[in-house]
Structure 1
Amino acid sequence: MAPELSVTHRVVRFDLPGHGGTPAGLIGPGATIADLAGLVLTLADSLGIERFAYAGVSLGGAIGQYLAVHHPERVSSLAVICSSAHFNGAKPWQERAELVRREGLAGLAETADARWFTPGFTVPELVDDHRNADPAGYAACCDALGAFDIREDLHRITVPTLVVAGREDPATPPAHLREIADAVPGASLTEISGASHLAVVERPEAVLAALRGHFDGHARRGMEVRREVFGDAYVDRAQTRQTPFTARFQDFISRYAWGEIWTDPTLTRRERSMITLTALVAHGHYDELALHVRAARRNGLTPEEIGAVLLQTAVYCGVPAANSAFATAQRVLAEEEA
């Protein structure tokens, strides 16, 4: 997911202490979410990053909530994914920490699939990474989860906040994410079907689309412009037909075509409609031409002006192409008039 987000953002990822290449000794027994949040700020400082958007899964989501509450000047927007404002108290985490310190992570790794994924889904590399984590670092992270409860402070989060839940997540059930969304002013909630605790792995396209919609201003503005040009009914139908297979393409259209090109003030929408009609005629895209004839009317072109554009295409794109274009436009304009 990071490579896709890095197309439009500078993406910085970090490993928890004892995981990946991060030393376990950065935290110790009795560690807190505040300690982990401090490590994130130290990392940002070392990279010269003063303010940043933050997305975190599970324990990472807890760190994000803490940062947004206690360091609001550093966080520009927040995404909390498959996480919670509390993790059911200290006792189960104390027991897990003691078990890991005593026996290591092999036993927990055997149950990772059931805790992380829906039945039948697995990612062996992630389970291996879990098995190979440093027990001391993992146990200290358990201590931090056990001590975490930020429910009373959620109302202090003022940055734009997205909350994402996996509908089949037993570790942080959707009710936990709804609790966050209800308490954070203006927060939005997305529930993803067919996903458990690691929704970012199991349903990456859906999570990516949600993150882009939240973090990427081009996507938000693009969807607004798309609705203004095509109308709510058309865009709603397109959204309804969206599938995991087409989600990335729809996101691309909203971000790039509508969020960057159509919002450029150099040309008016009338001018963009005329250019678009010409390009569609030139390439014979008559189904798309019908859609953009309707859009041209919404953008202020008269039927006479549309006819003049199509007549121009007869000279530069060819009479047969213009003939088909006139037939398409005449049908659409008649439907619009009716």
Structure 2
Amino acid sequence: MVRFELPGHAGTPALGAGVVIEDLARMVLGLVDSLGWERFHYAGISISGAIGATVALVAPERVLSLAMVCSAARFGESRQWRERAELVRARGTASLLEPTVARWFADPVAAASPLGRRLVEDLATVDTAGYAACCDALSTYDIRDRLAEIQAPTLVIAGRSDPATPPAQARELVDGIPGASLTEINGAAHLAVVDRPDAVTAALLAFLDQGDPGMRVRREVLGDAHVDAAVAKTTPFTEAFQDLITRYAWGEIWTRPGLDRRTRSAITLMALVARGHHDELAMHVRAALGNGLTRDEIGEVLLQSAIYCGVPAANAAFAVAQRVLE
């Protein structure tokens, strides 16, 4: 997983005037090229959602899925963005703080949280030229007549209290993008990911898992925390292996109807004992509990392994399981 910063934000070099969203989209493509990624999933909020939609238009063969959070096919009138760019170039971003906070947050607790305060501080200290360049880009952004060209499976997330990109603009995206789906988040303004992070995350994970039965089963058996950690550690070197695990082990074997998950867990425990894979064994002891095996049944599996895998192997397995089950 990779997160990028807009030019002029968080210490990144700013771009000059006259930037368009396609310039930023091509920067994203350059980033993923540098990582060696041929295809990728994309999620972005606000202007970053617009960048993602543009990536999906200029390089449709590379976008596996697109999630646009609190975004739009067009952000208001061009004139307002040109005026904002001029204001920021003349007076900086300090004049934007109060009205921006009102647009960003529906929840005062979220606004006062460490993350909320940091985001406001970032706006106050952002590179003036960089922020103004993003305003320039938004002033010319309008893909309303190209929405039907977006081929990637698309999720649109809207904050129901978002005054910047209200649900009506989200519905415009969904109506225009073939097969797109919409999730509206209660109690969320423009920064829905701060107001309602759990709801946004749940919507994103559900969307990503829809077209990937292997990932869905992997999450159901091993848990989101484990899978998210594994995905976060994925590199270009390990990407093919992670894909193999998800697609073949979880998508082909664990989804077969011939055995239920309890039975598959018992078989997996026995195999891991036999091979001495103790890290995997600990993970699958936890998974076995989730799949319906009781502590006593796990103990019976390990006891039987002493006969067929050897007493030393079973002894080590009992020690691993004991630590997990305590």
Normalised to the residue count of structure 2, the TM-score between the two structures is 0.68
User: For the residues of structure 2 that align with 1:30 and 1:77, how far apart are their CA atoms?
Assistant: 29
Deviation at 1:71, TM superposition (A): 1.2
Matched ranges for 1:123-272 at <5 A: 123-216=116-209, 220=213, 265=253, 269-270=258-259, 272=261
In the alignment, what sits opposite 1:296? none
Cα distance between partner residues in 1 of 2:219 and 2:208: 18
Q: Among all aligned residue pairs of Structure 1 and Structure 2, give the percentage whose two residues are the same amino acid.
A: 50
1:231 aligns with none
Larger Rg belongs to: 1
CA distance, structure 1, for counterparts of residue 177 and residue 128 of structure 2: 34
Question: What's the CA shift for 1:53?
Answer: 1.0
- In structure 2, distance between residues paired with 1:222 and 1:195: 28
CA separation of 1:261/1:142 partners in 2, compared to 1, >3 Å: closer, same or farther? same
Paired position in structure 2 for 1:244 = none
Give me the whole-angstrom Cα distance separating, in 2, the residues matched to 1:185 and 1:161: 8
Q: 1-side partners of 2:37 and 2:251: how far apart?
A: 28
Q: Which runs of no fewer than 5 residues in structure 2 stay unpaired?
A: 232-245, 268-284, 305-326
Cα distance 1:273–1:82, how it changes in 2: closer, same or farther (>3 A)? Answer: same
Give distance in 2, aligned partners of 1:124 and 1:226. 33
What's the counterpart of residue 33 of structure 1?
21
Say which SS state the counterpart of residue 126 (structure 1) adopts: helix
Q: Distance in 2 between matches of 1:49 and 1:147?
A: 29
Q: Is the 1:172–1:197 Cα contact (8 Å) retained in structure 2?
A: yes
The AA in structure 2 aligned to 1:174 is: P
What is the count of residue pairs matched by the alignment?
A: 264
Picking from 57, 60, 71, the partner of 1:69 is: 57
Taking a change above 3 Å as real, the CA distance of residues 276 and 84 of structure 1, as seen in their structure-2 partners, is same
SS of 2:158's equivalent in the other structure is strand
Runs of 5+ consecutive residues of structure 1 not aligned to the other structure: 1-10, 228-246, 293-309, 318-338
Greater RCO, CA 8 A, separation 6+: 2
Query: Map of 1:55-66 to 2, 5 A cutoff?
Result: 55-66=43-54
Alignment deviations for residues 137-178 of structure 1 (CA, whole Å, 9 cap, x no partner): 100100111111001000001111111101110000011011
> Secondary structure in 2 aligned to 1:270?
coil
CA drift at 1:273: 4.2
* Residue matched to 2:320: none
Distance in 2, matches of 1:159 and 1:176, equals 19
TM-aligned CA deviation for residue 68 of structure 1 = 0.8
CA deviations 1:229-270 (Å, max 9, x no partner) are: xxxxxxxxxxxxxxxxxx978x99xx9xx9998756277543
CA 1:276–1:176: 2 relative to 1, 3 Å: same
Distance in 2, matches of 1:263 and 1:38, equals 33
Instruction: Check whether the contact 2:209–2:216 (CA below 8 A) recurs between aligned residues.
Output: no
2:66 to 78, 81, 97: 78
Give me the whole-angstrom Cα distance separating, in 1, the residues matched to 2:46 and 2:219: 34
Does 2:3 correspond to 1:23? no
Q: Distance in 2 between matches of 1:136 and 1:225?
A: 45
Aligned to 2:39: 51
With 46-55 and 97-106 compared, the bigger mean Cα shift is at: 46-55
Q: Secondary structure at the match of 2:253?
A: coil
* Aligned pairs for 1:286-297 within 5 A: none
What's 2:79 paired with? Answer: 91
| Amino acid across the alignment from 1:22 | T
- Tell me how far 1:276 sits from its aligned partner: 6.9
Q: Find the counterpart in structure 2 of residue 110 from structure 1.
A: 98
Distance 1:20 1:154 in 2: 31
Q: Does 1:13 align with 2:3?
A: yes
**Alpha-carbon separation, structure 1, partners of 2:216 and 2:62:** 28
Give the secondary structure class of the aligned counterpart of 1:86: coil
Distance 2:24 2:123 in 1: 19
TM-score by length of 1: 0.66
What amino acid sits opposite 2:150 in the alignment?
I
